[in-house]
Structures are given as C-alpha cells and as structure tokens.
C-alpha cells in the first residue's frame, strides 16, 4: 500500500479534552481511533514534561516485563 493510500484511509484530528489538545488518527481499515500517548499523559497527569514521563514509564514497564505495542 502506498503512503498516499494510507493517507486516504487515516483521518487525523485534534480533539480537545479539558481544553488541552489530544492528537488522534482514525484507522478506517481497522475501525479504530489511535491517540497520542504523550498528549493523553499530559492531560491525565498535568506533567510539565509528558515526553519525559512517558520515557520513564516505558523503562519501568519494560523492567516489569510488560510488552509495549505500537501502531
């Protein structure tokens, strides 16, 4: 599938949650919404640096043997 075909199948949106933006992508083929984890962390934790929060959380989860999945 070409990148142009993928662009047609995915719709990118910015949603607002408590006046904060959360980037999303609609995967039409699988009928699923995907959310930016960094944006979600920013909303839920009110962290000043959600990227660092996510980085540290990933390290801890990997040490616990958790499997992280990505799109």
* pLDDT tens track for 16-63: 776 788 898 999 999 999 999 999 999 999 899 999 999 999 999 999
**d(C-alpha 28, C-alpha 30), whole Å:** 6
pLDDT at 1: 45
The answer to the question of residue 43 being in a domain is: yes
CA atoms within 13 Å, Cβ hemisphere of 35: 12
**Total domains in the fold of the chain:** 1
Q: Which pLDDT band holds residue 71 (cuts at 50, 70, 90)?
A: low
Helix, strand, coil proportions of the chain in percent (round to 5)?
40, 30, 30
The answer to the question of residue 10 being in a domain is: yes
Higher pLDDT, 34 or 4: 34
The answer to the question of residue 30 being in a domain is: yes
The answer to the question of residue 42 being in a domain is: yes
The answer to the question of residue 19 being in a domain is: yes
Q: Which domain holds residue 44?
A: 3-63
The answer to the question of residue 25 being in a domain is: yes
User: Model-level pTM?
Assistant: 0.67
């Amino acid at each position: 599938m070409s990148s142009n075909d993928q662009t047609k199948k995915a719709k990118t949106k910015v949603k607002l949650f408590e006046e904060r933006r959360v980037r999303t992508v609609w995967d039409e083929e699988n009928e699923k919404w995907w959310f930016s984890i960094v944006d979600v962390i920013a909303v839920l934790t009110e962290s000043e640096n959600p990227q660092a929060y996510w980085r540290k959380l990933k390290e801890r989860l990997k040490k616990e043997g958790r499997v992280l999945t990505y799109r």
